[in-house]
Structure 1
């Protein structure tokens, strides 16, 4: 589900972001960590997450996925996912808002916009897998979250374990996850605030699990039609230090994942932007840094849409936008800690 500034995303792109969970980030942290075998009631956070991750990679499925936010926004998409241990092919067709279909073959992603006859092409490094809760390699998720099975329910006709992933501090949200009993596939996800209120929910309303999904047929549809314009992402991978930026102190649990320099849009003003991405293994934060423009950058402050918080602030000659599915105080810690070193 990306990569324009996340505050500008539409309800349709919200659905894609829920599917790929800031898909520019990495894959299974839990696969890096040993886990102890045990019954369902004894599974630790890494074991639950690794089971879900393996299911999302190896299972094929077709389903309708619906995302609803606390403010009432609703979006949905139809998904075809061809599971394989080493190759991932999928199609996501947005059912709400402007027509849009996104195809992915491993790191290659094409988004078809029929109203504009445009195909947007990009490569997403370690794009990850649905549901891709496990965002960053080498994290110590158990230091910041606990996992506890709280019951069982049926979702989209499947029996599921209900697992509560609770944060250990106030810098991250909690999650309630429905994991299909037989396979482990995550079929429903709620993001919870510190009072246990649901900020955002994503779930299959209909699901066919372990059905044949023709990966070769999906891949063939990735060829842009004749007469369509292909727009290719021009992001350049870099690092914050080389660009002259640093954090005075790390935000607990969040590690830098990637950093990209993006040119200004054709016909736009300004000198482009820098996107610096952090993750604690489940939650992600993006810092966008660009030259201050008094015509475009007029409103400082905090905005919320479902679980997504956005904080904007001027910093001398620069404009900062912090975005993430984290509490507001987490974004403030990032914005207050960033500094220019040259």
Structure 2
């Protein structure tokens, strides 16, 4: 009992001394923390390069809607070829692989393989343009400190939007390899919307590439369609929020229907918004029945409404105001 009392008596003193030591000014007032000499944009540029060229693997935890999902992650790179792999550790067991604009998902229980074309996505961890200067129109980037993640020293970089049309992010970059150890997305009030964090991460000289094949029949590949021009779309964007631009358009069937759906992707270099238009006869029922009802799942907001004989759906990891602004500026194309 005496030992227990002593511990609780000394603990406040210990915490006070520790805090004072951490916050104390260095003896040499000219000395600056190492992170203050590192530029945030340069660090993100190094991250983008490292994510494409290094071989690394580890365990990453995704936090969405209050639910934590741990997964095994690996990235293989060799002579310009890249392959990302996620393997779930909890049910439903599945394996997801991204390579050359194609994402394949194999469900272990049924051995069903689903393939989707996503030429605009670069990583499961965080999308980042090769030219970081593309973010200047919409974001400010700042190095804000150093912390440890998975017992690895990391630079902390804040990506702050210049308006309320997109979310803020923080990225923790490992000092040795400049790989992202932690990424957090914040809503407009500063609350955490999504988070991913590595519990361990190793860089290897090489990692094997795998071939995604189901052990049984039942592969469901999406129909491949070449990227087209948004001039082919049944709708036209009369205005686009500042910083966003059109980066991808295609037309292909969805919902197991033979009727095509127009898909236009908008991006500001970090956040992306998809605009879909399909004929009402083939569309899924409207999610919202009123004119202002933007719905949300985790960090993704979406909105659907009618345009003549068509249904328009806008969805993306951006605030509801951005979704409505884009939806309101999508009009039927006059032929």
TM interval, shorter chain, is 0.7 to 0.9
- Aligned position for 1:232: 221
Report the TM-score, using the length of structure 2 for normalisation.
0.80
Q: Is the 8 A contact 1:135 1:279 kept in 2?
A: no
In the alignment, the residues of structure 2 paired with residue 286 and residue 122 of structure 1 have an alpha-carbon distance, to the nearest angstrom, of 15
Tell me by how many angstroms 1:88 deviates: 1.0
In the alignment, the residues of structure 2 paired with residue 119 and residue 279 of structure 1 have an alpha-carbon distance, to the nearest angstrom, of 29
In the alignment, the residues of structure 2 paired with residue 53 and residue 46 of structure 1 have an alpha-carbon distance, to the nearest angstrom, of 11
- Aligned position for 1:63: 58
Counterparts of residues 187-206 of structure 1 (less than 5 Å): 187-206=181-200
The structure whose RCO (Cα within 8 Å, separation 6+) is larger is: 1
- Aligned position for 2:242: 252
- Aligned position for 2:6: none
Q: Is the 8 A contact 2:137 2:242 kept in 1?
A: no
In the alignment, the residues of structure 2 paired with residue 144 and residue 43 of structure 1 have an alpha-carbon distance, to the nearest angstrom, of 21
In the alignment, the residues of structure 2 paired with residue 262 and residue 139 of structure 1 have an alpha-carbon distance, to the nearest angstrom, of 33
Q: Is the 8 A contact 1:80 1:213 kept in 2?
A: no
- Aligned position for 1:271: 259
In the alignment, the residues of structure 2 paired with residue 205 and residue 138 of structure 1 have an alpha-carbon distance, to the nearest angstrom, of 27
Q: 251, 264, 282: which one pairs with 2:270?
A: 282
- Aligned position for 1:291: 279
Tell me by how many angstroms 1:81 deviates: 1.6
Q: Does 1:159 align with 2:148?
A: no
In the alignment, the residues of structure 2 paired with residue 67 and residue 317 of structure 1 have an alpha-carbon distance, to the nearest angstrom, of 40
Q: Is the 8 A contact 1:148 1:163 kept in 2?
A: yes
- Aligned position for 1:315: 307
Report the TM-score, using the length of structure 1 for normalisation.
0.78
In the alignment, the residues of structure 2 paired with residue 106 and residue 326 of structure 1 have an alpha-carbon distance, to the nearest angstrom, of 26
Q: 162, 187, 203: which one pairs with 1:210?
A: 203
Residues 161 and 241 of structure 1, relative CA distance in 2, 3 Å threshold:
same
- Aligned position for 2:323: 331
Q: What is the CA deviation profile of residues 112-152 of structure 1, one whole-angstrom value per residue up to 9, with x for unaligned ones?
A: 12322222234432542453431487973112111112211
Alignment gaps of 5+ in structure 2? 1-33
- Aligned position for 1:94: 88
Q: Is the 8 A contact 1:135 1:284 kept in 2?
A: no
Residues 78 and 250 of structure 1, relative CA distance in 2, 3 Å threshold:
same
In the alignment, the residues of structure 2 paired with residue 213 and residue 262 of structure 1 have an alpha-carbon distance, to the nearest angstrom, of 37
Q: What is the CA deviation profile of residues 184-235 of structure 1, one whole-angstrom value per residue up to 9, with x for unaligned ones?
A: 111101111222221111111222x2135532xx42x43443x322222114
Q: What secondary structure is seen at the aligned counterpart in 2 of 1:140?
A: helix
Q: Is the 8 A contact 2:229 2:250 kept in 1?
A: yes
Alignment gaps of 5+ in structure 1? 1-38
Q: Is the 8 A contact 2:77 2:207 kept in 1?
A: no
In the alignment, the residues of structure 2 paired with residue 335 and residue 82 of structure 1 have an alpha-carbon distance, to the nearest angstrom, of 39
Q: Is the 8 A contact 1:150 1:163 kept in 2?
A: yes
